[in-house]
Structures are given as structure tokens and as C-alpha cells.
A and B are shown apart, each in its own frame.
Chain A
Amino acid sequence: MLALSQIAAVTMMNLRAIPQRAGASAVIVIGMACVVGVTLSVLSLSEGFMTAIRDVVPKDAVVVMSQGARFPQARFISRDNALTIIDAPGISKTAEGKPRAYGDFYAGVPMTKRGDGFTTFVSLIGQTQAAIASNPDMKIVEGRSFQPGLHELLVGRAAQQQFVGLDVGTTIPLPQGDWSIVGTYTSINALAESALIGDAETLMSAFQRPVFATVQVRVEGAQGFDRLSAEIAANPTLTVNVRWLRDIAAEQAEQLNSLLRFVGLTLGIIMGAGAVFGALNTMYSAVSTRQREIATLRAIGFGPAPVVISVLVESLALALIGAFVGAAIAWLAFNGNVHTVGGALFELRVNRALITLGIGMATMVGFLGGLLPAVRAARAPVIDALRTR
């Protein structure tokens, strides 16, 4: 008990004196704020992207695609194969008893971004009316849906906002002439909103592509997935893979994600090292200005532990304040900002996981920056220290 009350007394005395060393203390706070602010800002991109995938990709969505097709352009499934797949067991049914599995079409079309005028490829997806009608995540908010056989397209609201010339009523050039935009859709899946959608058969004939790209399936839970996979694996005429859409999305995000994580953590580590040196400097000078005070405490019976702890607490407290300032700046500047990568649109996130990371970094910096000065303070010979002016 005595030790605890000693620790409390010395620590409080120490913290109350921080304003007297405001300049030096601010070095830790500002340093840490910069480190955490920069790191969290960069990581908010990857966090936002992962959140978009984790939260909004439908849990029962499965994609059947040709084996070894790493790029969307290389995916193809013949009509015969598509029919076989659609008849397979494990697929959930619509109210009319039809399987919720549809062959689709995929192409990338170049679009000009609003603002900077750069070109990005936007996904052009061919679906059937039935697929859209049975998709609870999608809603048409302006205009109407496309008519099969006509050159008509729906546009996702995110795509409409990002790119020039996609308003309802305008036309865009595609093979075999101009196609009109007849409606806008929204989706709870922000990534799926950055696309154009038309009728699969009409698009396939316009692009002279007689095969589907993939078959999009909704399965009856994990068991349905297993039954579908087993059936397809047992069929020698099919050389396709069955995969959860969420896994595919996560894989596609991985490249961007590992890049951002690498950049964010490299920045964090190098700047963090700088912050540790700054903190060491501050704490050494704090300890040296308190030299006489510490010696006096030791002379009247305080142990070395309270002194060590009081220094560590000071450095941790300053680093944590800095981390919170940095996290707050990152949050204010970036949280909820809309960002696009390769045409996909999502919101940046400074969430609890990132703030925890910031606190972790501050704890490291505070601890490393306070430890050596704390030990030096506790070890200083009392007599000599008392004599210093």
C-alpha cells in the first residue's frame, strides 16, 4: 500500500509539473500526433476497402468461373456448361421456383473521370432481368430498367457521380452504335455501384462474344455451396471453379491492401523511430530538470520504483495525448471521404481497429522514450543530485 501511494504521489506531482516544461513536452505530443496521423490516414484507405468488402458482399453469393482465369477478360463459360451449372443442386430458388443462377457478361469500358479528366475502365456487366429482379440489394432509383434486345443500360449511382456523361437520357458509344442510359441503380454494395449493367444476351451479341463470362449463383448456405461444388467437381465436362464472391473480392483487394499496409507501416516505423528519439530527448531533459526534486524524494524515503514509474507515466501520457490528436486529425480529415480505386468507390474508415493501432504505437514510443531516462533518474546518486543547482 505504501508503495502504491508513493507511486501515486510522485506521479501526480510529476504530471502537474508538465505545464512548466510545456515546450519540451509538446515535442512528444506533436511528434506522436504526426506519426499516428500519417499512419492512420494511409491505413484508412485499406480499412475502408476491406470494410466495403466484408460488410456488403452478399453472404450467399457464389461465382462459377473457368479455371485459371486470373483476369476478368480471361473468364468464359460456354452456354452448354452454363445450363449444366444452373441445373446443379444447392442453388437457392426464387419464389417461382427458378434457380437463382445466371450467366453474365463482362467488359471494361474506358470512361473519363470528373475532376482530373483521367481515364479509368468501368465494369460493363451483362445480366438478365430475372437476375436483377431477384437481387434484393439493388434498387432502381431513377428511370427504368433496360429492355432486352435494345441498346439500353443501367448505371450505378457511384459510377454516375464519378464519371462524365453517364446521366439518364445520355448515350455512350459501344460496339454497334450508341447505347442509352435509361436508369440509375443503387446498391447496398458500394463496390457493385461503380458499374454499368445491360442485358447479357444483347451485350454478348454486340461484342460478338458467344460465351458467358461467369455464372453468378446464390446458394442455400454453406451446405448448398458444398453440394454445388461436389456436383461440379464430379462432372468431367466442366473445368470450372466454384468460389464465394467474398473470397474473390478479398483476393482482388489483397494487392491494394498489402501495398497500403506496407506503405502505412513503413511510414509508421520510420517516423516512429524519429518520435522515440524525440521522446528520449524530452524525457532526459525532464529528468534532469527534476534532478533535485527526485533526489529530495529519495532522501526522505521514496523508493526507486515510484520514480521510474512516474517518468514512464509522464512519457506514456504525452505520447497517448499525441496519438489521440493524430487520430482525431486523421478522422476529421479522412473518415467518410469517398475514394476510388480502379473505378470502385468506397469510403475511407478511421475505425476502432486503427485507433487501437495508434494507441499501441503511442504506448511503444512512450515506453521506449521513457525507460532509459527513468532508470537514469532512479540511479542518480542522491548526494550528488542534491548538490546540483
Chain B
Amino acid sequence: MTKFLPLIWVGIWRKPTRTVLTALAVLAGFTLLGTLGAVDAGFRHARDRSPLDVLQVDARFGTPLPLAYLEQIAAIPGVTAMVPRAFLGGFYQQPRNPIFFVATDERFFSFRPELLVSDAQKRRLAETPNGVLVGTSHANKYGWKTGDQIPLQSPTLQKNGDKTWMLEIVGVFDTTFDPPGTARFTMMNYSYFDENRSGPRGTANGFMARISNPDDAVRISGEIDALFANSGAPTRTMSERTSTENNLQGLGNINVLINGVAAAVLFMLLFLTGNTMSQSAQERMSEFATMKAMGFEGRDITAILIGESLMQCLPAAIIGLLVGVKLVVLSPQNFPRDINPPWLAITVGVLAAVIVALVSSSLPAWRLERRPLTEALRD
């Protein structure tokens, strides 16, 4: 096909306005496809990174779970590690600055290897009872530094009736899941939280349990829930993977939306580029006939048409995909993101562009092929 490049180049610039407009439409469409692909990749990534071998034990009805559950669950064969989790929610300075601390202990870090917390930070957290570790997002937003004392206004009262928790920042960290500077996770010492709260002491909102074999997740979850089914605080246990799938489902059926929109966009573009190619081929019927009379084969003409179509679509589509992938930062914050480039979406997008180009040039090529030479020459 390379020997036809000059012909293809001249062909697409025969009517520059039309070529540029077609390319712009392709660019717009593929920008959208790029964004959709990146959103989809974010959801996929959120699902895939949720471990299968970690169970979340939560309160079935929101009742506080006694810490004694820890040992009972740890005694189940197949459970290798446990950690409690409690939550302290509130706001910093104003209700529109909500923060949500997870109160837990050092065992938590083995369950969350994505937290880039240094050993020194871990040590400082252990040494400072009211110490907290905060994600870079909060630290940047409020200008917090290590050593700062921050007041947290919370509906969870302290035992002295005070609703202001004074917390000391002992470290700021990133995670491997978020782009640098956007980590939103925050944690504090469970022991400090539990000692100082007015609510039921010695309880947690839930536990995390590691199991030795992911295939046992369903069986062990059932055993844990059965253990406490008739108590005053029943549990509800599922693997983190299942939990994530549930949460993502709660955001609505994103897959249907993405596929539907992508189909509409491709349909629209197919029509648009198809029309451009037909018009362009129609106008040059006699030129092509002349070329055939000069000895070009039918398939040479087809190759030229396909080349023109690819030349109009592919660069625009690739630029659009790359721009669209970047635009995913505009999507709502509770959408999960994948910080790696969504190569799958880009590859599928490029393939889609090639297919659009091939289909849109095939109809005019077929028409040219069928047109008797003598008639075409007369056009």
C-alpha cells in the first residue's frame, strides 16, 4: 500500500474542509470512547485489586460487635490473621469538610499493602496515642503537616461529653492506588478511640480476617455468621471482592451505560465516515475509471480508498482516545480510578477505528468495482 501513499495523501486533501470536518467528528466520538474506556478500566481495576483472601466481618444490623469476636473468629480453621475496625466520622472546621477516620491497629498494614506508610510513621503512630495518619489529599487540602494538632468535630462524643477530638498528625502518606497527592485514606489508633469514646467500650464496627485459601471464602463466611447468628450482634461476612462488587453495583449498571453509549457513538461515526467516503468516491468516479484504464487493478483502487479512510480516521481516533483517557479526571470522585493507562480500552478503541474505516470505505469500493469501465469514464 505504501506505493499509493502519495495518491492517498492527494485524495484526502482534495476537499480539505470535508476531511477536516470528518476527522473532527471522529475525534469527538473517540474522545468520548476514551473517557468511557477509562471509567470502565477504573471499575474493572477496583474489582480486580480487591483481595479474595480477605473477609470483611461487618455488623448485620449496624450493632457494635464485641472485641471478643476476634478470638472466636481467629479460632476457626483457615483464618490466619485478624484486625478490628471502628469508624470515627466528623468534620474539620466546617460541615462541608467531612473526614472519616478508621480506628485500627498496626495489624491493619498487612491487610492494606497499598498504603505507602514508612516504618518511622508506623512507629510514631504507635508511640502517639492520639496520633493519626492522613492521606495526601486531606493534607494538601487543609495544609496539614506532621506534628499539627487538628480538632475533629464528631457526633461520636468523648466520654467527657466533648464532641471535639484533638488529634495529632504523625504522618502523611500516598497509596499505590491513587495518583500522588490524592490519597484520601485516614487512620487512627483503635485503643485511643475506644478508651475515650462515650459509646460502648470494647466494640468495633467490624473486623478483617485473612484466610489461607481463597476458595474457602464462602464456607468460612458462613461459619462466622453462623457463630453469631443468635447473639445480640449478628454479623455479615463476605470477601472483599464480593463486597466491592456489591458497592460498584450500587453505583448503577455502569456496564450497560458504557456499552450503550459506545454503540451509539460508533453507529453515528460509521454513518458519518461512510457518507464522506461515498461522496468522495462518487465525485472521482471518472478519475478512478481513468486510473483503471491506465492499468491500475480493481484492488489497487480499493486499497487507495481504504488508505484514505484510515488516514482520515486513525490519527483523529488515536488523539481522541488519548485526550478522552485524560478527561476521566473530570468524572465523579466516587468513581474508582486506575492510575495505569487503560491500554485495553485504547487497543479496543484503535481496533474500532480501523473497523469504522474499513466498513466506511468498503461500500464505495464495491460500487466502483461493479461499475463498468466505459460508463464510469463517461461520468
Contact status of A118 and B271, CB under 8 A, knowing A110-B60, A271-B265: no
Contact A284 B18 (CB under 8 A): yes
A163–B233 alpha-carbon span in the complex (Å): 23
A263–B330 alpha-carbon span in the complex (Å): 10
Contact status of A70 and B62, CB under 8 A, knowing A175-B232, A275-B268, A277-B28: no
Contact A274 B29 (CB under 8 A): yes
B213 to nearest A CB, angstroms? Answer: 23
Contact A120 B250 (CB under 8 A): yes
Contact status of A271 and B28, CB under 8 A, knowing A31-B271, A38-B264, A266-B330: yes
A174–B28 alpha-carbon span in the complex (Å): 53
A359 to nearest B CB, angstroms? Answer: 19
With an 8 A cutoff between CB atoms, is A5 at the interface? no
Q: Please list the residues of chain A having a beta carbon within 8 angstroms of any beta carbon in chain B.
A: 23-24, 26-27, 30-31, 34-35, 37-38, 41-42, 45, 66, 68-70, 73-74, 107-110, 116, 118-120, 173-177, 207-208, 259, 262-263, 266-267, 270-271, 273-275, 277-278, 280-282, 284-285, 341-342
A74–B153 alpha-carbon span in the complex (Å): 14
User: Could you tell me which residues of chain B, from 314 to 349, have a CB within 8 Å of some CB in chain A?
Assistant: 330, 332
Binary contact readout B225-256 vs A (1 if CB under 8 angstroms, 0 otherwise)? 00001101110101000000110011010000
- Which one of A69, A118, A208, A274 lies within 8 Å of B25 (CB-CB)? A274
A278–B25 alpha-carbon span in the complex (Å): 6
| Besides A30-B267, A110-B60, A281-B25, 18 other A-B contacts (C-beta < 8 A) | A34-B268, A38-B264, A70-B95, A74-B89, A109-B60, A110-B236, A116-B249, A120-B246, A173-B234, A266-B35, A266-B330, A270-B28, A271-B32, A275-B268, A277-B24, A278-B21, A278-B268, A281-B276
B271 to nearest A CB, angstroms? Answer: 5
A282–B309 alpha-carbon span in the complex (Å): 17
Chain B hits for A173, CB < 8 A: 60, 229, 234
A42–B257 alpha-carbon span in the complex (Å): 8
Chain A hits for B230, CB < 8 A: 177
Contact A31 B17 (CB under 8 A): no
A259–B333 alpha-carbon span in the complex (Å): 10
A261 to nearest B CB, angstroms? Answer: 11
Binary contact readout B189-232 vs A (1 if CB under 8 angstroms, 0 otherwise)? 00000000000000000000000000000000000000001101
Contact status of A23 and B278, CB under 8 A, knowing A31-B268, A176-B232: yes
A116–B230 alpha-carbon span in the complex (Å): 28
- Which one of A177, A267, A341 lies within 8 Å of B32 (CB-CB)? A267
Closest A residue to B156 by beta carbon equals A74
Contact A277 B25 (CB under 8 A): yes
User: Could you tell me which residues of chain B, from 108 to 131, have a CB within 8 Å of some CB in chain A?
Assistant: none
Contact B332 A41 (CB under 8 A): no
Chain B hits for A24, CB < 8 A: 275, 279
Contact A271 B268 (CB under 8 A): yes
A64–B223 alpha-carbon span in the complex (Å): 41
Main secondary structure of the interface of B (DSSP, over half): helix
Contact status of A107 and B61, CB under 8 A, knowing A68-B95, A267-B261, A277-B25: yes
B281 to nearest A CB, angstroms? Answer: 12
B361 to nearest A CB, angstroms? Answer: 15
Chain A hits for B17, CB < 8 A: 281, 284
Closest A residue to B234 by beta carbon equals A175
Q: Please list the residues of chain B having a beta carbon within 8 angstroms of any beta carbon in chain A.
A: 17-18, 21-22, 24-26, 28-29, 31-32, 35, 60-63, 89, 95, 98, 155, 229-230, 232-234, 236, 238, 245-246, 249-250, 252, 257, 260-261, 264-265, 267-269, 271-272, 275-276, 278-279, 330, 332
- Which one of B63, B234, B272 lies within 8 Å of A208 (CB-CB)? B63
Chain B hits for A23, CB < 8 A: 275, 278-279
Contact A341 B252 (CB under 8 A): yes
- Which one of B32, B155, B245, B272 lies within 8 Å of A270 (CB-CB)? B32
Main secondary structure of the interface of A (DSSP, over half): helix
**27 A-B residue pairs with CB within 8 Å:** A24-B275, A24-B279, A27-B271, A30-B268, A31-B268, A37-B264, A38-B265, A68-B95, A70-B98, A73-B62, A119-B238, A119-B246, A175-B233, A175-B234, A208-B63, A270-B32, A271-B28, A273-B28, A274-B28, A274-B268, A277-B21, A278-B25, A281-B22, A281-B25, A281-B275, A281-B276, A284-B21
A267–B262 alpha-carbon span in the complex (Å): 11
Residue among B35, B269, B275 with max Cβ neighbours from chain A (10 Å): B275
Chain A hits for B98, CB < 8 A: 70
5 closest pairs, A vs B, by CB?
A274-B28, A277-B25, A34-B268, A34-B264, A273-B28
- Which one of B234, B249, B260, B278 lies within 8 Å of A118 (CB-CB)? B249
Closest B residue to A260 by beta carbon equals B252
Closest B residue to A27 by beta carbon equals B275
A207–B238 alpha-carbon span in the complex (Å): 22
Residue among A30, A69, A177 with max Cβ neighbours from chain B (10 Å): A30
Contact A27 B272 (CB under 8 A): yes
Closest B residue to A326 by beta carbon equals B264
Chain B hits for A30, CB < 8 A: 267-268, 271
Residue among B21, B249, B264, B271 with max Cβ neighbours from chain A (10 Å): B264
Chain B hits for A66, CB < 8 A: 155
Contact A278 B232 (CB under 8 A): no
Closest B residue to A108 by beta carbon equals B62
A273–B25 alpha-carbon span in the complex (Å): 7
B150 to nearest A CB, angstroms? Answer: 18
Contact B267 A174 (CB under 8 A): no
A266–B35 alpha-carbon span in the complex (Å): 11
Contact A285 B18 (CB under 8 A): yes
A270–B272 alpha-carbon span in the complex (Å): 15
Chain A hits for B267, CB < 8 A: 30, 34
Residue among A116, A259, A281 with max Cβ neighbours from chain B (10 Å): A281
B251 to nearest A CB, angstroms? Answer: 9
Closest B residue to A270 by beta carbon equals B32
Chain B hits for A263, CB < 8 A: 257
Contact B63 A259 (CB under 8 A): no
Chain B hits for A26, CB < 8 A: 271, 275
Contact B260 A41 (CB under 8 A): yes
Closest B residue to A256 by beta carbon equals B252
Chain B hits for A68, CB < 8 A: 95, 155
Chain B hits for A267, CB < 8 A: 32, 261
Contact B269 A74 (CB under 8 A): no
Contact status of A174 and B61, CB under 8 A, knowing A31-B271, A341-B252: yes
Chain A hits for B330, CB < 8 A: 266
Chain B hits for A278, CB < 8 A: 21, 25, 268, 272
